[in-house]
């Protein structure tokens, strides 16, 4: 899937982060708890070095608690990484980030110098909401902010902590392909990038196998449809969503599926597990290896 994120912005963000990151004592990456892998920013692992990293699994209220636990364990296997889960407007809990930051920087004397902390994450994961909760006042715009944050701002927090907002626009990774679909389901990337009904179909297929009981209960189905398309047809029939000629109105069904997932009506659900992404990584590796092998074989032929 070739999606061209704003290349100019990306280049600028990379340059700025590369410059600023080494000056930081700690990094906070905000992730969407429903897609902790897909909502990662690919710059973080490449530019972090040894800087301690707190990964916040945010929007916990929308994610499957058992799977969120699996993710915490999986993410914390990486050196220098700790995790915390969060849901909006819980100031006490959010302050737990600062406590964790203290624990992770035992050699830093905050009487002498401020602890410099950078918060980053792809759009819409809830960074601004967290910044405001930590600051105890609205310092960052939430919701429909422009993609590019203007001047780098530092916010003074208790215990001599300086919080730096992300410089620039951070894009998500889009491969394997499933990452793009999951990002679209949560609303992190605009549906203009991927076909709206394809995104809903991806969701429907996933729901059938991951949350069959919730799907049956929500849409009043006695039997589990065999696949995503059958589920979409069943919803159309139940809700009488028919287009001209009596065919199922899949656009309307798509809206229902996506909205009800995004606002939590379907219940707390996660879109990926550590096992799933490991499996997908193995498959992607295999495909890459096959590609490389074919390329080698091609070279050999040309030489001969």
Query: Count of CB atoms within 10 A of residue 135's CB?
Result: 15
The reply to whether omega before 176 is within 30° of 0 (cis) is: yes
When asked if residue 123 is in the footprint of ligand GDP (CB under 6 A), the reply is: yes
Q: How far is the CB of 33 from ligand GDP (least distance, A)?
A: 8
Stretch that binds ligand GDP, among 44-52, 91-99, 125-133, 190-198 (CB under 6 A): 125-133
Cβ(180)–Cβ(4) below 8 Å: no
**Closer residue to Mg ion, CB minimum distance, 128 or 186:** 128
Rounded CA gap, 62 and 199, in Å?
19
Q: Segment 213-272, which members bind ligand GDP (CB under 6 A)?
A: none
When asked if residue 128 is in the footprint of ligand GDP (CB under 6 A), the reply is: yes
Annotated binding-site residue? 263: no
* Phi, then psi, of 70 in degrees rounded to 5: -60, -40
When asked if residue 129 is in the footprint of ligand GDP (CB under 6 A), the reply is: yes
SS3 content of the chain, % helix, strand, coil (to 5): 50, 10, 40
Rounded CA gap, 162 and 113, in Å?
10
Rounded CA gap, 215 and 257, in Å?
10
- With CB under 5 to 8 Å by kind, the binding choice for 34 among ligand GDP, Mg ion, none is none
Cβ(158)–Cβ(98) below 8 Å: yes
Residue from 87, 105, 160, 214 binding ligand GDP (CB under 6 A): 87
Interface residue list for Mg ion (CB under 5 A): 127-128, 145
When asked if residue 125 is in the footprint of ligand GDP (CB under 6 A), the reply is: yes
When asked if residue 93 is in the footprint of ligand GDP (CB under 6 A), the reply is: no
Stretch that binds ligand GDP, among 54-62, 67-75, 169-177, 220-228 (CB under 6 A): 54-62
Q: How far is the CB of 132 from ligand GDP (least distance, A)?
A: 8
When asked if residue 143 is in the footprint of ligand GDP (CB under 6 A), the reply is: yes
Distances in Å between the alpha carbon of 303 and those of 296, 297, 299?
A: 11, 10, 6
Phi-psi map region of 29: left, alpha, beta (phi>0 left; psi -120 to 50 alpha) = beta
Q: Which of the 8 DSSP states describes residue 244?
A: G
- With CB under 5 to 8 Å by kind, the binding choice for 124 among ligand GDP, Mg ion, none is ligand GDP
Cβ(118)–Cβ(21) below 8 Å: yes
Stretch that binds ligand GDP, among 16-24, 39-47, 122-130, 207-215 (CB under 6 A): 122-130
Q: How far is the CB of 230 from ligand GDP (least distance, A)?
A: 30
Annotated binding-site residue? 125: yes
Q: How many residues does the chain have?
A: 304
**Closer residue to ligand GDP, CB minimum distance, 88 or 216:** 88
Q: How far is the CB of 210 from ligand GDP (least distance, A)?
A: 20
Rounded CA gap, 184 and 186, in Å?
5
Binding site for ligand GDP (CB under 6 A): 58-59, 61-62, 87-88, 121, 123-129, 142-143
Binding residues for GTP are 58-61, 124-129, 168
């Amino acid at each position: 899937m070739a999606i061209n994120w704003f290349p100019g912005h990306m280049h600028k963000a990379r340059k700025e982060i590369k410059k600023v990151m080494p000056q930081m004592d700690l990094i906070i990456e905000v992730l969407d708890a429903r897609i902790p892998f897909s909502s990662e920013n690919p710059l973080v692992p490449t530019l972090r070095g040894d800087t301690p990293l707190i990964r916040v699994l945010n929007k916990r209220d929308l994610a499957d608690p058992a799977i969120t636990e699996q993710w915490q364990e999986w993410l914390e296997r990486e050196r220098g990484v700790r995790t915390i889960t969060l849901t909006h407007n819980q100031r006490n809990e959010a302050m737990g980030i600062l406590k964790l930051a203290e624990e992770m920087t035992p050699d830093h004397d905050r009487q002498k110098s401020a602890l410099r902390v950078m918060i980053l994450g792809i759009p819409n994961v809830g960074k601004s909401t967290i910044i405001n909760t930590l600051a105890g006042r609205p310092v960052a715009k939430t919701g429909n902010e422009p993609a590019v944050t203007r001047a780098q701002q530092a916010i003074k927090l208790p215990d001599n902590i300086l919080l730096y907002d992300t410089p620039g626009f951070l894009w998500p990774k889009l491969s394997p392909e499933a990452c793009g679909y999951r990002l679209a389901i949560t609303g992190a990337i605009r549906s203009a990038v991927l076909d709206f009904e394809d995104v809903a179909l991806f969701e429907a297929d996933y729901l059938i196998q991951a949350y069959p009981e919730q799907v049956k209960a929500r849409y009043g189905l006695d039997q589990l449809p065999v696949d995503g398309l059958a589920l979409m047809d069943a919803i159309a029939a139940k809700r009488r969503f028919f287009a001209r000629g009596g065919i199922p109105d899949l656009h309307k069904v798509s809206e229902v599926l996506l909205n009800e997932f995004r606002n939590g009506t379907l219940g707390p659900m996660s879109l990926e597990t550590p096992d799933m992404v490991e499996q997908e990584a193995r498959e992607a590796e295999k495909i890459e290896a096959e590609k490389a092998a074919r390329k080698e074989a091609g070279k050999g032929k040309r030489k001969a």
